[in-house]
């Protein structure tokens, strides 16, 4: 399966909670339907008749379901936030970067809510539910994620105000 590229997708310039408005009427990606929110940065989707696990590119959230690992500060809240943004049944556009899959065979994607174009990955970062995670060569929106996290951190939003040592969650 090949996902379309995101080179034509504009970068985000507004607040994280505002929808990213693509230049065309639809984000250039692959339409999918959310079937499960696994945690704050991983979802399961249906692509036609295929089911896929998708890892949101550019962000990392505290662990909430990792086997043999404790639930981390704000992990359940991050999962809950992602569920509120894209509940089961939500149509999304999956937009890839340079690599299609990670070492765990999950699809790597920027996720946009089809109903309004919300850039889900960026919303999670900007609202304080995720840290920035830049792994080359998948870095198209890395600057946007870093800026969103810096703003959330400076305003002590989400995990940046709730967790005693938030930097330890991402490192």
Q: Where are the domains of the chain?
A: 30-170
Q: Which residues are catalytic?
A: 55, 63, 106
Q: pLDDT band for position 7 (50/70/90)?
A: very low
> Which residues neighbour 167 within 8 Å (Cβ) at sequence distance 6 or greater?
none
Cα gap 141→76, rounded to integer Å: 25
pLDDT reading at 100 higher than 80 = yes
pTM, 2 dp: 0.84
Compute the chain's Rg from CA coordinates. 15
Q: Which fold has domain 30-170?
A: OB fold (Dihydrolipoamide Acetyltransferase, E2P) (2.40.50)
| Banded pLDDT at 29 (limits 50, 70, 90) | confident
Q: Is the pLDDT of residue 9 over 80?
A: no
CA-nearest of 30, 50, 139 to 94 is 30
């Amino acid at each position: 399966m090949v996902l379309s590229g995101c080179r034509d997708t504009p970068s985000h310039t507004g607040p994280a909670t505002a929808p990213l408005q693509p230049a065309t009427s639809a984000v250039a990606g692959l339409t999918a339907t959310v079937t499960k929110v696994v945690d704050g940065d991983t979802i399961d989707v249906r692509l036609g008749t295929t089911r896929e696990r998708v890892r949101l590119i550019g962000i990392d959230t505290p662990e909430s379901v990792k086997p043999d690992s404790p639930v981390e500060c704000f992990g359940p809240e991050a999962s809950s936030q992602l569920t509120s943004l894209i509940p089961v049944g939500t149509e999304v556009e999956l937009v890839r970067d340079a690599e299609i899959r990670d070492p765990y065979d999950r699809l790597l994607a920027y996720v946009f809510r089809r109903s309004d174009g919300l850039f889900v990955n960026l919303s999670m970062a900007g609202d304080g539910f995720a840290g920035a995670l830049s792994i080359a060569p998948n870095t198209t929106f890395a600057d946007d994620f870093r800026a969103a996290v810096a703003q959330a951190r400076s305003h002590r939003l989400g995990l940046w105000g709730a967790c005693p040592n938030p930097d330890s969650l991402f490192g």
